Amino acid sequence: MDKPAAPATADGWEPKIVAFFCNWCTYLAADLAGTSRMKYAPNTRVIRVMCSGRVDPQFVLEALAHGADGVLIGGCHPGDCHYQSGNYKALRRFRLLKRMLLAFGIEDERVRLEWISAAEADKLRDVVNEMVAQVKALGPARLGTPPEDWAVGLEEEADEEVEGVTV
Amino acid sequence: MSADTNGQPRIGVYVCHCGTNIAATVDVEAVAEYAAGLPGVTVSKTYKYMCSDPGQELIKEDILANQLDRVIVAACSPSLHEATFRRATAAGGINPYYFHMVSIRELDSWVHTDIVEATAKAKDLIRAAIHRVRFHKPLERARVNVNPAVMVVGGGIAGIHAALTLANAGKKVYLVEREPSIGGHMAQFDKTFPTLDCAACILTPKMTEVGQHPNITLWTMAEVDKVDGYVGNYQVTVRHKPRFIIEEACVGCMECIEVCVFRRGKTPDEFNLGLNMRKPVYIPFPQAVPQVVVIDQDACIEFRTGRCKKTCVEVCAERNAIDFTQTETFDTVEVGAIVVATGFKTFDPRRTPSYGYGVYPNVYTAMEIERLVNASGPTEGHVTLRDGRTPETVGIVHCVGSRDVNTNEHCSRVCCMYSLKLAHLVKEKTGAEIYNFYIDIRAPGKGMEEFYNRVAEEGVHFIRGKVADVYPEAGNTGRVVLQAEDTLLGRVRKIPVDMVVLATGLEAQADADEVRRTFNITCGGGGFFMERHPKLAPVSTFTDGIFLAGCCQGPKDIPDTVAQAGAAAAEALALVDKGFVEMEPNTAYVVTEECSGCKTCIPLCPYTAISRVDGKAYINPVLCKGCGTCVAACPSGSIRQNLFEDEEIYEEILGVLANA
Amino acid sequence: MPDKPKVAFYWCASCGGCEEAVVDLAEKILDVVAAVDIVFWPVALDFKKSDVEAMEDGSILASFVNGAIRTTEQEEMALLLRRKSKVLVAFGSCAHLGGIPALANLWDREAIFDTAYRTTASTVNPEGTLPQVSLAHNGDRVHLPGFYNTVRALDQVTEVDYYIPGCAPTPNIIAGAVETLLGGDLPPAGTVLTPDIALCEDCPRLDTKPQELTIERFRRPHEVIADEGTCLLAQGLLCMGPATRSGCGHLCINGNMPCTGCFGPTSKVRDQGAKYLSAIASMLGFEDEAAIDRALDGIPDPVGTFYRYGLAGSLLRRRKMTPVDA
C-alpha cells in the first residue's frame, strides 16, 4: 500500500475535495486562475475528464467512499458544452444523485455541480473557497467507513445484566 | 508493447521546477523523493525545465536505460506541454499514451502560497497519476482526411486578408459577410494612424481582389447558421438573407437608386452612422464589394403597401435584377477549417449618460467624426456641427467605455491613437483648438510615439484627467463644458467646446455569444473569443480547425489585425494543406460481448456516432469526439473510453485520496 | 451413502422464499437428492448446529446460504459453514447483495428498535423493553442473538465462492448451478452463476424499445396498466433490465411487471444503483432544472428503487443514524 504523505496541516483536519473538471471550461478556468496567480484553498484534487457528461455517479460515490469530504463537478454553462449537451446529462444525473445522497444523509454542500466557463477563474476560486469553508464547517464526511461499525452497540450490551425479565 | 514485469509497471516520474514557478511553492525534491517510494516507480527525478531539450532528453534516456514503460511529468498544465512530453515518450521508444501529465503549476504552485500544503497537494496529484498509469494502454491516432476548402467568417480587413492569403495559396475560400458589402469598420475610416494613409486607398484594392478572385466565393448578407462535423470535415450551413436583387444580374449602375419613388432618402444611412439619409434601394458606400444594390424591406413602399410604381424595376429593364419575391435561402458547404473574423462593435456611449451623447447634439462618437472628416462622407469632408457651424474648439474624451469598471475593464488599445489621428485631421480641416482628455496616452508600437509627439507639436492640448461631466455652457452659446480634474495640475478644469468627440472603445459583438456557440468556441473576458493560448496559440481556439482573426479575439489596430489574419490563414493552411489530421484517441468503444443492446446510449450521442449493429451498440470512432457521456450512462458498464477508462479514473480517485 | 457429496442449506435474514425456491425445483429436486447427501437443512431436516460442528472442516462440498447477515447468530452460522465447506454459495439476492433486508441500512439499530418496539401505533411495550443479548432468568443466564447495526451481504462476512442470484433464484438457475458444482469443472471463485450480460439482451420486448428513447414522465406499476407487448421503460416504468444480469428468464417482464434488479449488476459495474441512476437520468427529456426535478418527482424513493437489493453492497453507507425525511 502507498505510504501516506505528511498530513496537509499539522493542527488537525482539512477537508479533501475531489473535483472532476471538464477539459474545455472548468479545467481551463483552473488554468486561468493559475496564470492569473489567483489564490484559493488548497483542498481540491482535480481529476480531468473531457466533459462533465463523463462523470459517472459511481465516481462520486467512489470518492466519498474513499474518504473525500466533498465532490465538486465543474462543467460548461448550459448551452456552452463543447460536446453540445454533455453538461445537460451531467445536470440530470446530478439532480437524481442529489436525491439519493440526501436519502443517505449526505449534506447538500458536500456534492456540488457548478458551471464554470474557461473565463471564470474568479468563479472557480470563489466556488472552491466557499465549498471548502462549508465542508470545513460540516466536518469530516467519514463515508469511507470500513466495516468496523457493523457491530456498534453490541459490545456494551453484552456486558449488561438485565434482571427479572421472563423469557 | 508494455514491458510489464509481473504486472508491476516501471514508472518514471519527473517533477519540473519550472525555474521557480513551481519550485518556489512546492518542495519538488521532497515530492520526487516521495514518489520514488511509491509502488512501481523506477525513476523519480526533478529537473529545472522539463520542457527544455535536455529535459525531454532525460525522459528518452531513462526509458532506454531503465526500461521504463510509463512516464509521468508533473509540471505545467497538460494544455501546454502534454504533446511535448508524449513526443519525448515516443522518442524513447514506447507508445506516447503511456505518458501522463500532472499539473502542479496552474493547479498548485501558482494558486497556493503555503509550501507545506502545496507540496502535499503535489504529492497527492502525482500519486493519482502513478495509480492511473498502470492502466494505460498503447493507443494509435487515427488519420482523417481534410477537406482543403476554408471558410472565413466576417469580411472586415481581418477576413479579407485571411481570405486572400488562403485563396492566393490556391485554396477554395468561402467568405461570409452579413452586411451587404465587405469592408467592415476599416471601410468607414478616413485615414489610418500613425501613417495617415487613406483607409480606402489601401482597403479598396483588397476588396476588389476578393470580389474578383477565382478561388473566393463571396457571400454577403449571409450568416453562418450551423456548423456540423469536426476538424478537417466541417459542414457549414449558411443562411442567405434576401437582398431582393439578383446579384449576378445587377451591374451596379445604381440607376434604380436615382429613379426610386423616394426623392430623398428617409432612412438613416448605416454606413454614415445616420449622419445622412439613404433611400430604400441603396448601395452601402461607393466602393462597396460586391457593387450591387440592396433593397431595404422595411423602408421600401412596395413591401409596405404593395402599390409602388416600381420605377426601379422599370429602369432596370431587361437586366431584370430586382426580385421582390426573394426569401431566405440556405447553402451547406464542406470545409476543412474555419477562420472566425467577426470583428467588434463600438461602445454605445448612451450607457454613460454623463457624457451627454444623444442629449447634446454636438456630442459625437469618434466613428461619426471619421465619417465627417471623410471626403466621401455625408459632409464631403467638412467638419461641421449639426447646425452647420464649423467648430472652433473641440474636446476629445478618451477611454469612453474602456478602462472603466462600470463599463469595460479592458483598454481598447486603439482609441488613444485614433484620437490623436482625429485631433490632427480636425485641426487640419478646421483650425480648431483641440483638447484631449486622457487617462494615459498609450502609444506603443512602431511609429506611434513619434505620431503622438507630432500631434502634440501641432499644438493639440492634452489634459490628463477623466471627464466627469458634460453640461451646456451658460448663456445659450450652444457649447458644452467638459469638466475634468487635471491630475497634473491638481485642479478642476472646465473647458467649453463646440464639439465633443467621444473616443468610444471596442466591445465584443452583441451576438458574440451566439456566434461562439455556433462555432463551439469560448468567450474570454469582455466577451471576446478566447484563443487557445494567449502567447503560444494566439489564433487557435479550443476547437481544432477553428481559428481567430481580428478584433473578435480582442481589440487591436489594423497592422495587428492584418498580421493576425495572416497567422490565422497560415494556421488554416497548415491544416488543410497537410491533407489529413490525426485524431486524439480518446474515443469511446463498446465491448460487444458485454453489451445487451439496450439502446440507452444511442440517443445520448450528440454526433450520432452510436448505432446498432447486430443487436449491439457500435461506436463509429471517426464520429466519436470523446466526451464520454455514453460511457457514464451505459447501465451495464459495457462502454469504455480510451484515455479515460473507468479504471483509470477510479485509480485517480484512490490515488488522490490514499492519504485522506 | 458415504460417497455422495455432502451439501448444506441454511437461511439467515431472509423471507423463506429461497427455501421455497429449492422446493420449487419440483421433480428435479429428486435428482439433487439422489446425487447428494443433505447434511444440514434446518427448514426441512432435523439436524442441529452441533452436528455441523462435529463434522470435519471442509467435509461439506457446498453450503448454500440464503439471507443477509443481520444478527450475531447468522454470522456465527455463516462462519461455521464456511469452515466446514469446500464451497460456500451465496444463494439468492439477500446473501448475494443484502437484498430487501439491507434496505434497513438507511437506519441504524437504534432507529429500528425505536420504530419496532416503541413508536409504532400497534406497539404495547409500557416498560420499553428492547431485545437483549443476555439476561438472567430464574438464576440462569440466557443468551440470545445480537442485532447488528447494519445488514451485510454474505461476502461482507466471510469469503464466498459463488453466487446464485435472484429473489428468489429461479429453478433453471439453481439447477444449472448445482449441475456446475457437481460437474467438478468449477468456474473461478467469485463467479456469479448467471450470464454476465444485462437482461435486455434477450428481452422479448427489446424490439419495441425505441432507438431514441427519452423519458418525460415516470410511472409506477400501480399507476398504469402496461401494454403487454411494449418495452416497459418506453411506457415510463422504471425497468431495471438494462442494469441487471440476465438469466432469470424474464419472469417479471412476462408477468408484465418491470424488472426490479434482483439479479444484481453485471461484473463491470461497481454500484448498481449509481450506474442505473446515471442511465435513467441521462434518458430524461429535459434540459432545465425545474422540469428535470418535476420528472424526478416520479421516482419518490430513489434508494428503494435503485438499491432495492443492493444497498448492503453500495459504495456508500448511510451517514445519519436517524430516519431522514425523503
In the predicted structure, residue C322 carries a pLDDT above the cut 50: no
In the predicted structure, residue C320 carries a pLDDT above the cut 60: no
Q: What pLDDT does B190 receive?
A: 94
**CATH 3.40.50 is held by the domain B11-141:** yes
Boundaries of domain holding A37: 17-161
Tell me the C-alpha distance between B366 and B506, whole Å: 12
Q: What pLDDT does A166 receive?
A: 40
Q: Which three cell numbers stand for residue A140?
A: 469530516
Mean pLDDT of B580-594: 94
Q: How confident is the model at residue B242 (pLDDT cuts 50, 70, 90)?
A: very high
Any idea how long chain A is? 167
In the predicted structure, residue A8 carries a pLDDT above the cut 90: no
| B206-242 per-residue burial string, b: 16 or more CB within 10 A, e: under 16 | bbebbbebebbbbbbbbbbeebebbbbbbebebbbbb
Q: Can you count the helices (H) and strands (E) in chain A?
A: 5, 4
Residue of C194, C196, C197 for testing the chain B interface, max B β-carbons within 10 Å:
C197
- Name the residue of chain C whose CA is nearest to A92's CA: C281
Can you give the residue ranges of every domain in chain C?
Answer: 6-100+149-192, 199-306
Q: What pLDDT does B93 receive?
A: 96
Nearest CA of chain A to the CA of B261: how many Å? 47
Tell me the C-alpha distance between C206 and C194, whole Å: 20
Q: What pLDDT does B523 receive?
A: 87
- Name the residue of chain C whose CA is nearest to B612's CA: C211
Q: What pLDDT does B2 receive?
A: 43
Q: Which of chain A's residues have a Cβ under 8 Å away from the Cβ of B105?
A: 34
In the predicted structure, residue C325 carries a pLDDT above the cut 90: no
Q: How confident is the model at residue C1 (pLDDT cuts 50, 70, 90)?
A: very low
Nearest CA of chain B to the CA of C197: how many Å? 5
Based on C-alpha coordinates, what's the Rg of chain C? 22
Nearest CA of chain C to the CA of A90: how many Å? 8
Class of residue C130 by CB neighbours under 10 A (exposed 0-12, middle 13-18, buried 19+) = middle
Q: What pLDDT does A10 receive?
A: 42
Question: Are B597 and C265 inside 8 Å of each other by CB?
Answer: no
β-strand B142-145 against B580-583: which pairing, if any? antiparallel
In the predicted structure, residue B533 carries a pLDDT above the cut 70: yes
Nearest CA of chain B to the CA of C306: how many Å? 12
Domains B345-507 and B587-641 share a fold: no
Secondary structure element (H or E) that encloses residue A96, with its range: helix A86-103
Q: What pLDDT does A150 receive?
A: 56
Q: What pLDDT does B659 receive?
A: 75
In the predicted structure, residue C96 carries a pLDDT above the cut 50: yes
Question: Are A95 and C293 inside 8 Å of each other by CB?
Answer: yes
Q: What pLDDT does C78 receive?
A: 96
B127 part of contact set with chain A, CB < 8 Å: yes
Query: Is-cis flag, bond preceding C168, omega within 30?
Result: yes
- Please report whether residue A12 resides in a domain: no
What are the φ and ψ backbone dihedral angles of C229, each rounded to 5 degrees? -100, -5
Q: Could you write out the DSSP letters of every residue in B324-364?
A: TT---EEEEEEESEEEE---EEE--GGGSGGG-TTTSTTEE
Tell me the pLDDT tens digit for each residue of C34-77.
Answer: 888 999 999 988 999 999 999 999 999 999 999 999 999 999 99
Question: Are B596 and C198 inside 8 Å of each other by CB?
Answer: yes
Q: What pLDDT does B264 receive?
A: 93
3-class DSSP assignment, residue B10: coil
A158 part of contact set with chain C, CB < 8 Å: yes
- Please report whether residue A11 resides in a domain: no
Query: Is-cis flag, bond preceding B54, omega within 30?
Result: no
C268 part of contact set with chain A, CB < 8 Å: no
Q: How confident is the model at residue B288 (pLDDT cuts 50, 70, 90)?
A: very high
Nearest CA of chain A to the CA of C160: how many Å? 17
Q: What pLDDT does A145 receive?
A: 58
Q: How confident is the model at residue A155 (pLDDT cuts 50, 70, 90)?
A: low
Question: Are B106 and A2 inside 8 Å of each other by CB?
Answer: no
Q: How confident is the model at residue B550 (pLDDT cuts 50, 70, 90)?
A: very high
B594 part of contact set with chain C, CB < 8 Å: yes
CA angle B468, B474, B478 (to 5 degrees): 85
Class of residue B291 by CB neighbours under 10 A (exposed 0-12, middle 13-18, buried 19+) = middle
Tell me the pLDDT tens digit for each residue of C262-310.
Answer: 999 999 999 989 999 999 999 999 999 999 999 999 999 999 999 999 9
Q: What pLDDT does B193 receive?
A: 96
Residues 6+ apart with CB under 8 A from C312: C68, C97, C98, C99, C102, C105, C150, C151, C152, C153, C156
Query: Is-cis flag, bond preceding A15, omega within 30?
Result: no
In the predicted structure, residue A163 carries a pLDDT above the cut 90: no
Q: How confident is the model at residue C195 (pLDDT cuts 50, 70, 90)?
A: very high
Question: Are B628 and A54 inside 8 Å of each other by CB?
Answer: yes
Nearest CA of chain C to the CA of B403: how many Å? 37
CB pairs under 8 A between B and C: 79
Query: Can you give the pTM of this predicted structure?
Result: 0.82
Q: What pLDDT does B429 receive?
A: 95
B41 part of contact set with chain A, CB < 8 Å: no
Residue B147: name the closest of B615, B584, B578, B617 by CA: B578
In the predicted structure, residue A21 carries a pLDDT above the cut 60: yes
Number of domains in chain A: 1
CA angle B515, B519, B522 (to 5 degrees): 80
Bridge partners (DSSP) listed for residue B217: B174
Name the residue facing C198 among B633, B636, B646 (closest C-beta): B636
- Name the residue of chain C whose CA is nearest to A66's CA: C315
Question: Are B653 and A47 inside 8 Å of each other by CB?
Answer: yes
Question: Are B612 and C241 inside 8 Å of each other by CB?
Answer: no
Going B323 to B328 to B334 to B336, the CA torsion angle's sign is positive
Neighbours of C58 (CB within 10 A): 11
Tell me the pLDDT tens digit for each residue of C245-265.
Answer: 999 999 999 999 999 999 999
Mean pLDDT of B444-461: 96
Q: Which of chain A's residues have a Cβ under 8 Å away from the Cβ of B651?
A: none
In the predicted structure, residue A165 carries a pLDDT above the cut 70: no
Mean pLDDT of B582-607: 94
- Name the residue of chain B whose CA is nearest to A34's CA: B106
- Please report whether residue A8 resides in a domain: no
Nearest CA of chain B to the CA of A154: how many Å? 29
Average of per-residue pLDDT values in chain B = 95
DSSP state, residue B19: T
Bridge partners (DSSP) listed for residue B295: B281
CATH topology of domain B587-641: Alpha-Beta Plaits (3.30.70)
Based on C-alpha coordinates, what's the Rg of chain B? 31
What are the φ and ψ backbone dihedral angles of B143, each rounded to 5 degrees? -95, 135
Q: How confident is the model at residue B31 (pLDDT cuts 50, 70, 90)?
A: very high
In the predicted structure, residue B446 carries a pLDDT above the cut 50: yes
For position A32, which CATH number holds? Answer: 3.40.50
- Please report whether residue A7 resides in a domain: no
Can you identify the CATH homologous superfamily of domain B142-241+328-343+509-578?
Answer: FAD/NAD(P)-binding domain (3.50.50.60)
Question: Are A18 and B108 inside 8 Å of each other by CB?
Answer: no
Q: Of the ranges B99-113, B497-511, C103-117, C153-167, which one carries the lowest mean pLDDT score? A: C103-117
In the predicted structure, residue A153 carries a pLDDT above the cut 80: no
N- to C-terminal Cα distance for chain C?
A: 56
Tell me the C-alpha distance between B568 and B308, whole Å: 48
Neighbours of C262 (CB within 10 A): 27
Chain CA centroid to CA B246, Å: 33
Just give the CATH number of C6-100+149-192. 3.40.50.700
For domain B345-507, the CATH architecture is 3-Layer(bba) Sandwich (3.50)
CB pairs under 8 A between A and B: 179
Question: Are B644 and A30 inside 8 Å of each other by CB?
Answer: no
A95 part of contact set with chain C, CB < 8 Å: yes
Residue B110: name the closest of B88, B80, B137 by CA: B80
Bridge partners (DSSP) listed for residue B155: none
Can you give the residue ranges of every domain in chain B?
Answer: 11-141, 142-241+328-343+509-578, 255-315, 345-507, 587-641
